[in-house]
Structures are given as C-alpha cells and as structure tokens.
Structure 1
Amino acid sequence: MILIGRDLSPFVRRTAIVLALSGLAFERRKLASSKPEDLVEIKKLNPLGRVPALILADGEALIDSNAIIDYALETSESEVALCPADGPARRQVLRTSAFAVGVMEKGVASSYETLTRPAAKVHQPWLDHILNQITEGLTVLEKLAEERVFKLDPDPNLGDVNSVVAHDFITLIRPELVRAAAPHALPALSRHFNKLPAFKNNQWQPNKS
C-alpha cells in the first residue's frame, strides 16, 4: 500500500499513525496539494485534490482520512484495538476524536485565512472566530487528557492519536494559542506517545518531507 500526502497535514499524519499502529505495511509518497506538479498526481486519485489517499495492493484508491482509518481498523493485524467495539468506552474514544479532528479542521482553516489571502482580504472577525474555536477545542482536549494521563496504557487508542496530532499541529502553526491555553496534560500525552515509533516516524520534518 502507498499513502499519499505529507505529515504537515494533520489528516495525513493521523492516518499514517493509525496504519502503523494497525500493523499494516505501507510506503509513503509525500506529495503536497500546494505544489502544482504534485496536485496533478493527487487529482488522479482524488479529483478534489485532497490528501490523504491510500493506494491498495490491487490499485484501488481510498480517499479521506476517515475512510482510510476505517479500512485500517477493519483490516488491522494488531492484537490491540484502537477503538472499542461498543459501549461507553467506544463513545468516549469517538467523542475525543471528534473534538480533536475539529481542532485540526479549524487549524487548517486558520492557515488558509492568513497564508492564502492578501492581508487586506482577511476578515478579522471571522479569523478571530476560528481561533477561538481552536482555543475552546484545546480546552476540551486538555480536560480529556487530564483524565487519560493518570491511567495511560502502553498502547494508545484512536482518541489519543487524534489528540496528539491535533496538539502537535496547533503547536506548529499557532504556537501562541497553545501558550495562551497553557495546557499540561495534553503536552504530557503528546510527549508520552510521540516516543512510540508509529508517532515518531510519522512527524513533519521540513527538510525531509
């Protein structure tokens, strides 16, 4: 299998981590939709020009991180389930994931506002609204992480993956928001799981990807 996309995208990174934790072998093609020559290749797999995409062994292409992660969970070769099959534990993992993915989405939206628009075209009230959503999301994730860090399992669940990726992404693109929120449990969660190969080997490295 071949995973398309760079780890700068939190959606690509969370997908890569889940594939690795699921024990599935895959290669990387770190294409960027922001590069015209890469976009041509990406659109052959996803006409929307979005990453990630996963090319299966038979040539089928899966698009969107949710679909790829669902495939990884379905075909996982790991003995440890990233998401409980049912009950309150499953709902808690999915709830945490929903908040974390929301933070990722708003982080990407904030980047579009400031990096792709001329300064005179940025609508500051809208940007402030997006940044506030990120801050509120980080606050929720911090509270959830406080409950998690005191009973850390050696194996992360899907909520942990998404929380760490969201924290790391916002720390990268909006460090002032993380400093203002002054979280403690969320960075601790990040440090703990980023020691694992699945996380460590799928991090944004500007000079390599």
Structure 2
Amino acid sequence: MKLIGMLDSPYVRRVAICLKLMKLDFEHESISVFRHYDEFAKINPVVKAPTLVLDDGQTVMESTVILQYVATLAGPDERIFPSQPEHWTRAARLTGLALAACEKSVQIVYERNLRPAEKQHEPWVDRLNGQLHAAYRELEEELAAAPLPIEPDRFGAADVTVAVAWNFTQMFLPEIVAKAAYPRLQAFSESAEQLPAFVSTPAV
C-alpha cells in the first residue's frame, strides 16, 4: 500500500502513525495537494489527502475511512478501535472532538495563509477560534475524567488523533491555543510524541 500526502497534515500523520501501530507495511509518498497538484490528481482526481493506494491500484480517501479499512487488515493484537461496545462511546467522542480541533485549526491556517489580508473576515476567524477552544476544553475535561494511555501497546486511533491534533495546533497556532491553558493535553501529547511510531513520523 501507498499513503499519499504530506505529514504536516494532521490527517495524513494520523493514518501513518496508526499504520505503524498496526504493524502494516506501507510506503509513504510526500506529495502536496498544493505544490504537486497535477501529480496528486493523477493518483486521485479529487486531490484529497490522505489517499491510500491499495495493492490492486484502488484508492481510498478520508482518514477515518482509511483507518476503518486498514483495521480489517491488522492482526488481533494490533487493534486500533475498541473491541468492547462500552468503550466505543468514549473513543468516538475523543475522535470527534480531536477531528473538530483539526478542522478548525486547518481553517484558521488557510484563512491566514491563503486568503489575502484584505479579504479575511475577522468575525469568521473569531468563530473558528471559539470552536477550536471549545473542542480543546472538552478534551481537557475528558482527560481529567480519565487519563489516556501512554504505553504504545495500548494506543488506539482515538488516542493518536488527540495527540496529533494537539501537536498540529501547537505547531501552527501556539499564540491562539496556549499550552498552559490545557496542561493535560500538553502532557499527554509530549508523552505520545516520544513513542517510536510518532518519532519516526515527524510532522514536517
């Protein structure tokens, strides 16, 4: 399999780390949806990162859909989704909040970097900032109620997504989301970033 996309995307990085945790063989091709648009379009005409190219040439896109697919290929000891129904609710909640934080972070970055300054709409940015902080407040409360694991053999897709989302926001928007405001998220992310699957998958 081939994973297409840049690791500075939290969605691409999320998939790459999970693939490593599941011990699945894959190749990573750093193709940008911006700088290499035509090259990406030859692989997936939708030009959507991440894209997973299967061994038979078919493509799958959207990080959650990709993870749902590759989870069917992993061995019983490399599960990234809960096997017990009662654990699904929290995993789904954590994932939804973390993906919302990713989405709002990306939207703010795009608004700043892609839209001309004279066309940026501050009320829209203020709304994004509010939604971003709301997602992280909810995640901070979830971690206060029940800490996430730091052992690599206990990491699931939800845990990866939380750590990757926080890291992305801190890379690009540290002046908007202060580390000190969310100490549990910061501590968890720092621990996660020391794990081999994270270290070997830098967000650059």
Asked if Structure 1 and Structure 2 have the same fold, meaning a TM-score greater than 0.5 normalized by the shorter chain, the answer is yes
1:86 to 1:44, Cα distance in 2 relative to 1, 3 A: farther
Show CA shifts across 1:167-191 (max 9, x none). 0000011101221762111111112
For the 8 Å contact 1:97–1:159, the answer to whether it is kept is yes
Kindly report which structure 2 residues correspond to 1:36-51, keeping only aligned pairs within 5 A, or say none: 38-51=36-49
Q: Percent identity?
A: 32
1:27 corresponds to: 27
1:70 to 1:134, Cα distance in 2 relative to 1, 3 A: same
For the 8 Å contact 1:33–1:50, the answer to whether it is kept is yes
Kindly report which structure 2 residues correspond to 1:185-204, keeping only aligned pairs within 5 A, or say none: 185-204=184-203
Unaligned stretches of 5+ residues in structure 1: none
1:177 to 1:148, Cα distance in 2 relative to 1, 3 A: farther
TM-score (norm 1): 0.90
Q: Distance in 2 between matches of 1:175 and 1:9?
A: 16
Q: Distance in 2 between matches of 1:180 and 1:190?
A: 11
2:116 corresponds to: 118
SS in 2 for 1:176: coil
For the 8 Å contact 2:98–2:139, the answer to whether it is kept is yes
Offset of residue 151 of structure 1: 6.0
Q: Which amino acid aligns with 1:200?
A: V
Offset of residue 88 of structure 1: 2.0
Show CA shifts across 1:110-141 (max 9, x none). 11111111111001000110011111111111
Kindly report which structure 2 residues correspond to 1:143-158, keeping only aligned pairs within 5 A, or say none: 143-149=141-147, 152-154=150-152, 155-158=154-157
Q: Distance in 2 between matches of 1:180 and 1:129?
A: 20
TM-score (norm 2): 0.92
Show CA shifts across 1:42-65 (max 9, x none). 112322211111111221211111
Which of 117, 129, 132 matches 2:130? 132
1:57 corresponds to: 55
Unaligned stretches of 5+ residues in structure 2: none
SS in 2 for 1:149: coil
For the 8 Å contact 1:110–1:127, the answer to whether it is kept is yes
Q: Distance in 1 between matches of 2:34 and 2:180?
A: 30
Kindly report which structure 2 residues correspond to 1:82-97, keeping only aligned pairs within 5 A, or say none: 82-97=80-95
Aligned length, in residue pairs = 203
Q: Give the superposed CA RMSD.
A: 1.7
1:156 to 1:137, Cα distance in 2 relative to 1, 3 A: same
